[in-house]
Every structure is written in C-alpha cells, then in structure tokens.
Amino acid sequence: MDKLKQKAIEHHYADLVQSMDPLSVMDHLRAGLLSLEERETIREALRARRERNRELIAFLFRKREELKPFECFVKALEKTDDNHEAMAKHILRTYGSNAQPGEEFGNPTMNQNHITQQSHNAGASAQRAKEHDAALEIDKIINKFEQLSREKASKLKRPLTDILKNGLNDSRVKMSTRVDLEDLLNKHTSSVLTDSAIEKIRSASHTSDAFYVFCEALERSSIYALIMFLIGLKSNKQEHLFHLFCTEEFCNDLLSAFDRI
C-alpha cells in the first residue's frame, strides 16, 4: 500500500484496533484481495478482536498498490454499518489533508508535472529506504537482545542516552494516536515501568495524553524498557511505526549499548 495511504490509516490505528469488527469488514472486501490463507489467519477462533484487527491491517499494508487495498478497505468500512462508515470518513479526511494535488481519493487525474515529481520523490524515498531500513535494523536489535543471557540483559537496565530520548520525543505527536497502548501495557511493558507510572497512564483522559505519559515514563526508565517497547510494537504487528523514530542514529546508538555489556 502507498505510504501516504498507510499513514492515513495509522493516524486512526488505535481506534480501528479497538472498535472495528474485523470479520464484517473482511466480508465486505473485494474478493481476491486477501488470500484464503490470510482470511483463515484472521478468522482463527481463539483470536481476540484486537488481534484480528491488527492482522487485517498488517495484511492490507503489505498489498501491492495496484490492488487498491486502501480504496477497498475504505469501501468495506462504508458498507459495514454507520459506525464503520464514520471511521472511513475520518480516514479519508486525514488522507485528503495529506495528499498532494491530484492524489485525492477517487481522483484518477494528475498532470504530467506532478507525475514526474512523484516519480522523483519515489526514487528518493527508495534510495533512503535502501540506505536505512528501520524495521530491519530494529529486528536485528531485537534478535540480538533475545540471544542475551538474563544476566547480560539485566545490564541494559540503565538510563537512555540523549539520542534515544530525543528519538522518542520527536515522534510523540505522530505516534500518540497510532500505538495500541493497552496491549503494550498489559503484555510487554508492565514489568519494566513503575506501578505509579502505569496508574498515571491508565488514568489519562485521552489516548494521546496517555501516550505522552507513557513516553515520559519510558524516558525515565531504561534501555531495557525501550527494547521491551520495541518488542511490543513488533508483536502487535506495528513494525510500520519504527520509521517514525528509529533513525539511523537512533539504531546505531541503541546497538552500541550491547557493546557496553
């Protein structure tokens, strides 16, 4: 899926994971967009709604743009019910505000100058992606962490460097409505954050406020806690968020922490 369209969905990720009916939406997707195996993965009886929603979005993000996964997803939401139709409108509004002239949803026309510029931008993006793949680099770091003995892993329980703190700070706004914070707290970070911090996060009135509090607690915690956060994002099928804060400098700094244990 086109990156700009992914970002429009990511902006509403927390609400989609929480509220979407994945089976009904999947039933309204165009036949052939999802493989039989992908549909069965989503339908697994023991999967909770939130897990199904994460799987569905992850599968759609991996679809080729020519299959029009974004457009199919929006139409499926519109066909499901009034609540899902409202979600579709929010996503389209976000996409419309970010799109370049001629890229609006449902508008097939672009002038030649825009196509040329788009091709140029795509080439530049591809070059940057080739130079630094955030998801790949974080996956390497997680694999390295998982191979550590418990004793060595515990040595990562030391303060974050300024580079790591800045990486989290710089991405707060973009991440605040996209992270599935509930699962991160329940499954991955509850053991590395203080009880008072978790209570403060849960008592926040809005999702964005809760994520701000979460980031503050993470910054005051440790490199070990940061890695647990990264593992949580990967487990929740949110690796696409790594590019928001895992710059080359961030990854190199995090990787260097392993050399000091």
Cα–Cα distance measured from residue 143 to residue 162, given in angstroms and rounded to the nearest whole number: 24
**pLDDT for position 99:** 60
**Is 114 domain-assigned?**
no
Cα–Cα distance measured from residue 33 to residue 51, given in angstroms and rounded to the nearest whole number: 20
**pLDDT for position 131:** 66
Query: pLDDT below 70 — which residues of the chain?
Result: 45-47, 98-131
Here the tokens at position 218 are: 């993470």
Task: Give how far the C-alpha of residue 219 lies from the chain's centroid of Cα atoms, to the nearest Å.
Answer: 20
Cβ within 8 Å of residue 261, ≥6 positions away = 148, 152, 155, 156
**Is 125 domain-assigned?**
no
For 57-116, the pLDDT digits (tens) are 989 999 999 999 999 999 999 999 988 999 999 999 998 876 654 444 444 444 444 444
Question: Do 138 and 91 belong to one domain?
Answer: no
Here the tokens at position 79 are: 């066909």
Tell me how far apart the 2 most distant CA atoms of the chain are, in Å.
60
Beta carbons of 219 and 245 less than 8 angstroms apart: no
> Domain range spanning residue 180?
133-259
Domain total of the chain: 2
To the nearest 10 degrees (0 to 180), the angle between helices 207-220 and 223-235 is 140
Here the tokens at position 261 are: 């244990």
Question: Do 137 and 93 belong to one domain?
Answer: no
**Is 124 domain-assigned?**
no
Cβ within 8 Å of residue 246, ≥6 positions away = 134, 137, 138, 167
**pLDDT for position 101:** 46
Cα–Cα distance measured from residue 147 to residue 137, given in angstroms and rounded to the nearest whole number: 16
Question: Do 93 and 187 belong to one domain?
Answer: no
CB atoms within 10 A of CB 147: 10
Nearest to 238 by CA among 181, 191, 187: 181
**pLDDT for position 45:** 53
**pLDDT for position 249:** 95
**pLDDT for position 182:** 82
**pLDDT for position 71:** 95
Cα–Cα distance measured from residue 154 to residue 88, given in angstroms and rounded to the nearest whole number: 45
What Å distances lie between residue 261 and 149, 152, 157, 158, 218, CA to CA?
Answer: 11, 6, 11, 11, 21
Beta carbons of 211 and 218 less than 8 angstroms apart: no
Strands (E), the chain: none
**Is 17 domain-assigned?**
yes
**pLDDT for position 204:** 84
Cα–Cα distance measured from residue 224 to residue 232, given in angstroms and rounded to the nearest whole number: 12
**Is 29 domain-assigned?**
yes
Question: Do 222 and 142 belong to one domain?
Answer: yes
Question: Do 144 and 209 belong to one domain?
Answer: yes
CATH code at position 30: 1.10.533.10
